[in-house]
Amino acid sequence: MDRFSVFAPRLVEKAENFTSGHRACQGCAEALAVRLVMKALGRDTIVAMATGCMEIVSSPLPTTAWMVPWIHVAFENASAVVSGCEAGMKALMRKGKVPEKKITFVAMGGDGATADIGMGQISGVMERGHDMIYICYDNEAYMNTGIQRSSSTPYGASTTTSPAGKYSIGQHTQKKNLPQIAVAHNIPYVATACPSFPFDLMQKVKKASSIQGPAYIHILSVCPTGWRIPIDESIRYGRLAVDTGVFPLYEVVDGSYKMTYKPYRLRPVNDYLKGQGRFRHLTDKETGVIQDRVTKEYEGLLKRCEGR
Amino acid sequence: MKDKVLMKGTDALAEAAIQAGCRCYFGYPITPQNELPEYMARRMAEVGGVFLQGESEIASINMVLGAAASGVRAMTSSSSPGISLKQEGISFLAAMELPALIVNIMRGGPGLGKIAPNQGDYYQATRGGGHGDYRTPVFAPASIQELYDITMYAFDVADIYRTPVMILGDGMMGQIVEPTICRKRQKIDLPPKDYILDGARKRPSRIIRSLILDTLEMEEHNWKLKRKYDLMRGKLPQHEEFMMADAKLIIVAYGTAARIAKGAVKRARREGLAVGLLRPITLWPFPTQAIQEIAKKVKHFLVFEMSTGQMIDDVLLALGGKAECEFYGRPGGVVPTPMEITRIVGRYWVQKEILG
């Protein structure tokens, strides 16, 4: 956000690499995130995508929304397949069969594919140090199969497999902190982003693509269907997530933290929670617990950003 | 009539499992079986059981393994690509002789395929599926009531023979809604669970394992499993016969395909064609003997599957060349109408000049 003074829309590429006509739900912030990411990456990109909402909505045979080489693979495999693509292109370039040029290799997956089933392989690709970007579109549940909980579902959220009711408050475990897992791999670039902050998101994607080695970008993608919010509110809820400190925007370059957008003062978490159907059952006491945790984590992050 | 409730396939299966005493369900989302874990998530809380969503199919099947080793009735469910991931666990369950129920609500394949109903997993289900020399009993119900009853029975089979058992439905079986009577479980005498790991208090310790490095011991283990499978081959096979008394042509079909074939048989009868239906309820052990008996009288068979032809192998093996057998299949998630099958039957009838 440090270059926000420039009138940025003029700098944004006009070409759409993730085109319209796909079947995403109304108000899908994930589709917006993919569109922005693809704008930032440009055409010299190879994408491997795990099964999920974006794969289903963008590629019903024989149509496709993708203007770049794009391969869809089973749920857990996007990162492994993109390592294969990267190795394959490296070999072809070395043999002179493909002209040498900078190609960005991108693996994409939802939070289920990233935090749950694909975790091992993502760890593998980061450890091997492939020159690729892994982008996680986090809508905080398995939305594609009908809103089942994932390990990225926040505490207290009601989903179909963590229903709130007499016996349960819904999801009773805390959200898995994926960016921190990526940071622990000592990879050159880790960032969090949200399509409600489009220029920040695109800048991070460009940075990730310019850096040699594995990069990880975690994008909070508001899902009106699964979060049970009105379809015209997804951008606002993305902003609220950031402004309340639930989802801080930061980047970690070679281990040093930087807050890329710092709200002047954090809004109470309740502003973010109260309108969402999935948190409707929460009492003041429970939102208090969530508030405490968010404050604690946010302060911890601030400390790391100040290098303490 | 009063006891009948309208139930969706996946819900009926889940309810039957709970009635059968299943108190551990481990799952992972995959269409078209999501309603099953969703139902379990609600119901298990009510009956004091455990519902856990694993981080992958591999995790869930191994959670089942753990639960079975501790002596609880446990189950998991998935659909075709997920079942492929579970195969390692199923092989381990078979090797360790642990009872479990695995539900496969088949969808189109190979690869990620599609989410429409399909019967392409017949080989995988009936030939063991995972690595090594093992088989799993496979049930293929064709109505929601049968799905309900067989689920309860499958848990008993698993406990009696100490084996993983599979229920092979398809997207259609999982999603249709039919009136069902929710029967209570009938207690039967089950062998004591003298293998479970529940803490070796005042008894020698027990070991559940599948790694047997001694070749002779491993051979004996394989033969032991084989004897068990032979026992099942003798006792388990079930099939349904429909309008077979005077039939000159028998359609062999299972699951959803059998429902369609039943409609086709009724239509063909109206046209005056003496057609019958044989529906295997157990796919492994296959009702070989029943088919052999019928082949003494009937010389024409038509296998109908929603795949490119897998069960036909078992029918051909059973027939052993004693009767003519043709195949008709619609893979890829296409669900044909009874009319279409009637047309195929009519064509076959004319081609073979069945009445001479």
CB contacts of B28 in chain A (<8 Å) are: 117
Which pLDDT value is given to residue A54?
93
Residues 6+ apart with CB under 8 A from B78: B27, B28, B30, B33, B57, B60, B85, B86, B102, B103, B104, B105
Tell whether the model's pLDDT for residue A2 goes beyond 80: no
Contact A173/B at CB under 8 A: no
Alpha-carbon distance of B49 to B222, in angstroms, equals 35
Which pLDDT value is given to residue B132?
93
Option in B45, B53, B112 nearest A149 (CB): B53
CA dihedral angle for residue A271, residue A273, residue A275, residue A280, rounded to 10 degrees: -140
Which pLDDT value is given to residue A289?
95
Residues 245-284 of B with CB under 8 A from A: none
Kindly state whether residue A154 falls inside one of the protein's structural domains: yes
Which pLDDT value is given to residue A5?
54
Structure tokens at A79: 């990162």
Contact: B30, A145; criterion CB under 8 Å: yes
Contact: A145, B51; criterion CB under 8 Å: no
Tell whether the model's pLDDT for residue A307 goes beyond 90: no
CB contacts of A145 in chain B (<8 Å) are: 29-31, 34
Contact A140/A111 with Cβ under 8 angstroms?
yes
Q: What is the ipTM of this complex?
A: 0.90
User: Which residues does residue B319 pair with via DSSP β-bridges, in sequence order?
Assistant: none
Min distance A54 CA to chain B CA atoms (Å): 15
| Domain CATH number, residue A214 | 3.40.50.970
Tell whether the model's pLDDT for residue A1 goes beyond 60: no
* Mean pLDDT confidence for A148-158: 95
Contact A168/B at CB under 8 A: yes
Residues 6+ apart with CB under 8 A from B111: A74, B81
Contact A79/A118 with Cβ under 8 angstroms?
yes
What's the angle, vertex CA B31, arms to CA A107 and CA B240, rounded to 5?
A: 145
User: Which pLDDT band holds residue A8 (cuts at 50, 70, 90)?
Assistant: low
- Torsion sign (Cα): B99, B42, A153, A294: negative
Which pLDDT value is given to residue A236?
96
Kindly state whether residue A284 falls inside one of the protein's structural domains: yes
Alpha-carbon distance of B261 to B278, in angstroms, equals 10
Q: Which of B210, B208, B205 has the alpha carbon at shortest distance from B221?
A: B210
Residues 6+ apart with CB under 8 A from B336: B260, B330
pTM: 0.93
Q: Roughly what angle, to the nearest 10 degrees, separates helices B80-96 and B57-69?
A: 30
Which pLDDT value is given to residue A45?
96
What number of C-beta contacts closer than 8 Å exist between A and B? 53
The residue behind tokens 């979060």 is: A227
Which pLDDT value is given to residue B353?
77
pLDDT 10s per residue in chain B (356 long)? 678 999 999 999 999 999 999 999 999 999 899 999 999 999 999 999 999 999 999 999 999 999 999 999 999 999 999 999 999 999 999 999 999 999 999 998 898 888 899 999 999 999 989 999 999 999 999 999 999 999 999 999 999 999 999 999 999 999 999 999 998 888 889 999 999 998 888 889 999 999 999 999 999 999 999 999 999 999 999 999 999 999 999 999 999 999 999 999 999 999 999 999 999 999 999 999 999 999 999 999 999 999 999 999 999 999 999 999 999 999 988 999 999 999 999 999 998 877 65
Domain that holds residue A220: 12-305
Which pLDDT value is given to residue A15?
87
State percent of chain B over pLDDT 90.
Answer: 88
Contact A161/B at CB under 8 A: yes
Which pLDDT value is given to residue A3?
53
State percent of chain A over pLDDT 90.
Answer: 91
Largest CA distance in chain A: 65
Tell whether the model's pLDDT for residue A87 goes beyond 90: yes
Residue to substitute from B28, B77, B78, interface A, most A β-carbons within 10 A = B28
Min distance B31 CA to chain A CA atoms (Å): 6
Contact A160/B at CB under 8 A: yes
Tell me phi and psi for residue A219, to 5 degrees: -110, 120
* Local structure of A48: helix, strand or coil: strand
Which pLDDT value is given to residue B302?
95
Contact A67/B at CB under 8 A: no
Tell whether the model's pLDDT for residue A4 goes beyond 80: no
User: Could you give the number of structural domains in chain A?
Assistant: 1
What's the angle, vertex CA A109, arms to CA A61 and CA A177, rounded to 5?
A: 165
For residue B47, give the chain A residue with the closest CA: A167
Q: Provide the mean pLDDT of chain A.
A: 93
Which pLDDT value is given to residue B186?
87
The domains located in chain B, with CATH, are: 5-235 (3.40.50.970), 239-352 (3.40.50.920)
Tell me phi and psi for residue A64, to 5 degrees: -155, 150
* Mean pLDDT confidence for A233-253: 96
Which pLDDT value is given to residue A210?
95
Tens-place pLDDT, residues A195-221:
999 999 999 999 999 999 999 999 999
Tens-place pLDDT, residues A90-113:
999 999 999 999 999 999 999 999
Residues 6+ apart with CB under 8 A from B186: none
Distances (CA, A) of B267 to B288, B341, B350: 27, 9, 16
Kindly state whether residue A292 falls inside one of the protein's structural domains: yes
Tell whether the model's pLDDT for residue A60 goes beyond 90: no
